Amino acid sequence: MGEQIASSVRAALAEGSLTPGERLPAARALADSLDVNVHTVLRGYQRLRDEGLIELRRGRGAVVVEMDGARFRAGLLARAAELAAEARRLGVSEEELLTLVRQSFALGPAPASGG
């Protein structure tokens, strides 16, 4: 459930419904509304902090970071999570997936669409 909370925040950042400087709901309030343990919410928030998307400030709670590219980063993290989930579903190991990503990355930037 902590990952689902983090995923929801990533999606909101990617679509722009959450913006830098915005405060997330207090962990206890969110836990009460979702009927989960407060530690579950905190795990989700800690994951987002570790990803560089939010800051956890004592007395202020969880705040979306003010950095260029936060929206892009959130979208990229969400797509990476989807890719990892699909790889697991297909039985692709972590190392195989990393090899595929490295190979794709080595191909260079995607061609610009001209028209």
- Quick: pLDDT tens for 31-76: 999 999 999 999 999 999 988 889 988 877 899 887 666 667 777 7
Round to whole Å and give the CA distance between 69 and 53.
10
Token look-up 């956890």 returns 56
- Interval 13-18 mean pLDDT: 82
The residue among 89 and 11 whose pLDDT is bigger is: 89
Say what angle helices 27-34 and 38-50 make with each other, to 10 degrees: 120
Strand-strand pairing, 61-64 and 54-57? antiparallel
Provide the whole-model pTM: 0.62
- Quick: pLDDT tens for 98-115: 999 898 888 876 655 544
Amino acid at 5: I
pLDDT at 97 exceeding the cut of 90? yes
Count, in order, helices (H) and strands (E) of the chain.
5, 2
pLDDT for the residue numbered 20:
83
- List C-alpha distances in Å: 26 to 2, 8, 13, 40, 100: 14, 15, 17, 13, 39
The C-alpha angle with vertex 68 and arms to 71 and 3, in degrees rounded to 5, equals 35
Say what angle helices 94-106 and 70-90 make with each other, to 10 degrees: 130
